[in-house]
Amino acid sequence: MEFKNTLSFAKGLDSEDVLRPYRDEFIFPKVNGQDVIYFTGNSLGLQPKRTKKYVDDVMNDWASLAVEGHFYADKPWWDYHERLAEPLAKVVGAQPKEVSVMNTLTVNLHLLMVSFYTPDKKRFKIICEEKAFPSDQYMLQSQIRFHGFDPSEAIVEVKKREGEHAWKTEDFIAKIEEVGDELALVLIGGVNYYNGQVLDMEAITKAGKAAGAMVGWDLAHGVGNVALELHDWNVDFAAWCSYKYMNSGPGNASGVYVHERYLNRKDIPRFEGWWGTKKETRFLMKPEFEPMENADAWQVSNAPILSIAPYLASLELFEEVGMEALIRKRDKIVAYLEFILREIDKEVTSSFEIITPKERGCQLSVFLHGEGKALFNYLMDNGVIIDWREPNVIRLAPAPFYSSFEDMYRFGQILKNGILSE
């Protein structure tokens, strides 16, 4: 398709968009009385309008039933989280029994590391990407120290090539082969938070398994954004947050995936708690832990119902639309955004460098050469909600559920005016 940088063309694309009605399912903040242009779904998704009912239902059940809500609410609390497994499994390419919802992202990564990072004197190293998200770096370092190893020796970072903004798949594979039988774990962010690159998770997983290592993925920026086939890729484990592309609200519950080969086993090292033991005998208060036969065995405590309710509301939207439709819209709107950026670049003295490679999801990271934070502030003041990463990178993530092609056009005009007004 030949794009045009005109309002009429953008509106024409919106008129053809089969997901256009879903924009009205979300609540937009307003600046100067107008809906914002929201580019930070990669940080916190907008609130679905139906979320309030799901939360209100829990609050009303709590008010009218109190403790009996565990068993007699319309959606009983004691198995509330189970309702999320099937729709979430479709999003991540897993079997429902391989998925659970609990805790928050880094908490779950720590819990999963108990099971999947069991180093010895020979095989103790972990491969990750350079400059991983800080929380992942802290988590890896603390886990390594807990096991008595030195992070400077145990953590092996795969770097980008000199002068390049993206990784090469072959460099991950080469590093895995180089570390060889010293490698205990590969744990990488599947979609990089800074440059938006989608890594070849299938190829990297295959290489890690061939080296005899465990392979896990932090999918904070991947779930609800890119096509995933965790089971078929033979991934050992994964975890993700739910508040970015999955729109569940700030800090809300995390999801986990554990491959079926590790399910219903008592020999797996694991931090265990009451909610991970079998439902059938849970209230017998037996002293022995009997793991659930699914990924719920990794749960350690009651499910946080008020946190999970918004996630269930959002997953209802994903069930209605499906990842294939979201990805089709994603590819088209991101391509149009890229076109707009290149067109505006021709009209101003600044130079925009898109550092996100072609292997991408919703996000474009843009290096604003010659521009400072004043431009960022101008955009924010004019209703364009973006985020800033030093030294002068803005991240733009048009989420297909609620972003419009007209948003992309309007952003381009505001961006141009912000540069020309300096």
CATH of the domain at 180: 3.40.640.10
Tens digits of per-residue pLDDT, 241-275? Answer: 999 999 999 999 999 999 999 999 999 999 999 99
The reply to whether 113 falls in a domain is yes
Tens digits of per-residue pLDDT, 293-313? Answer: 999 999 999 999 999 999 999
| Residues 112-123, mean pLDDT to the nearest whole number | 98
Distance CA 397, CA 198 (A): 14
Distance CA 23, CA 316 (A): 15
Segments forming the whole domain that contains residue 327: 7-48+323-420
The reply to whether 90 falls in a domain is yes
Query: For the whole model, what pTM was predicted?
Result: 0.96
Tens digits of per-residue pLDDT, 47-72? Answer: 999 999 999 999 999 999 999 999 99
Claim to verify: residue 149 and residue 124 sit in the same structural domain? yes
The reply to whether 251 falls in a domain is yes
CATH of the domain at 369: 3.90.1150.10
Domain boundary among 280, 296, 321: 321
Residue type, 49: K
Claim to verify: residue 241 and residue 332 sit in the same structural domain? no
Claim to verify: residue 190 and residue 254 sit in the same structural domain? yes
Distance CA 66, CA 283 (A): 19
Claim to verify: residue 267 and residue 342 sit in the same structural domain? no
DSSP 95-147: -GGGEEEES-HHHHHHHHHHHH----SSS-EEEEETT--HHHHHHHHHHHHHT
Place of tokens 């998770």: 201
**Quick one: 53 exposed, middle or buried, by C-beta within 10 A (0-12, 13-18, 19+)?**
exposed
Claim to verify: residue 137 and residue 204 sit in the same structural domain? yes
Distance CA 276, CA 299 (A): 5
Give Cα separations from 238 to 61, 99, 255, 258 (angstroms).
33, 9, 8, 7
Distance CA 328, CA 58 (A): 35
The reply to whether 382 falls in a domain is yes
The reply to whether 2 falls in a domain is no
Claim to verify: residue 312 and residue 335 sit in the same structural domain? no
The secondary structure of residue 221, as a DSSP letter, is T
- Averaging pLDDT over each range in 44-58, 346-360, 364-378, 381-395, which range is the top one? 44-58
- Please count the structural domains in the chain: 2
Claim to verify: residue 22 and residue 72 sit in the same structural domain? no
The reply to whether 366 falls in a domain is yes
pLDDT band at 88, cuts 50/70/90? very high
Domain boundary among 270, 302, 321: 321
